[in-house]
Amino acid sequence: MGKSCSYILRFGIVIALGALVLAGCGTSAKQQFWGKTVAPQDNVLRYVTGSEPESLDPIVPNGQPEARILMALYDGLIEYHPVTVEPIPSIAESWEIKEGGTEYIFNLRKNARFSNGDPITAHDFVYSIRRGFKPELASRNASLGYYIKYSEAYNSKFAFVRNPDGSFLLKKD
């Protein structure tokens, strides 16, 4: 009787696990993503987080809880599609990649504005990117942008020399 009972118990567990696996496969990837997709009418964001964020300055924190809050508060040039993770327009309505992939040209939306109503310009993005590399700020995220020409040198306090044509030279150049 012990062997028969053990066999039935094992068979029951296998059937239960199989049913759980099949139930988990029942949802369709074509469903809409979760949550509301429209801004609240009273212009108030309520966000429940597990801990206090280190900072709401996008340059400073590097943790996942802060990243979720920052993504809810700020827009970038592009964002990711919630299903395909392909880049989609955000503040940049379109962009082109020059030959070699070393130069990107972003065309900003004409109606892009800060929360106080001021228009968002290309100078605002230049300021933000340069600020993120400032050595005085000591951003732990600066290394993520080192693929931008001269950013590592700038972040490391190297000296810069500008040619008459406006290009910069480093010691290695």
Evaluate whether residue 172 is within a structural domain.
yes
Q: Which residue has the tokens 């992939």?
A: 101
The residue with greater pLDDT, 79 or 6, is 79
Q: Is 83 inside any structural domain?
A: yes
Establish if 35 belongs to a structural domain.
no
- Looking at residue 68, what is its pLDDT? 85
Asked whether residue 68 is domain-assigned, the answer is yes
* Strand ranges for 4-67 from DSSP E: none
136 and 159, same domain (yes or no): yes
Structural domain span for residue 51: 42-74
The predicted structure's pLDDT at residue 95: 94
The domain total for the chain is: 3
Check pLDDT > 90 for residue 124. yes
Is the residue at 59 inside a domain?
A: yes
What pLDDT does residue 62 have? 86
The confidence score (pLDDT) of residue 26 equals 62
Asked if residue 169 is part of any domain, the answer here is: yes
The pLDDT, as a whole number, for residue 109 is 94
Q: How many Cβ atoms sit within 10 Å of the Cβ of residue 68? A: 13
CA dist 168 and 149 (Å) reads 10
Q: Which of 167, 164, 166, 146 lies closest to 155, judged by CA? A: 146
CB of 125 within 8 A of CB of 76? Answer: no
Q: pTM, whole model, 2 decimals?
A: 0.64
Strands 87-89 and 92-97: unpaired
pLDDT of residue 30: 58
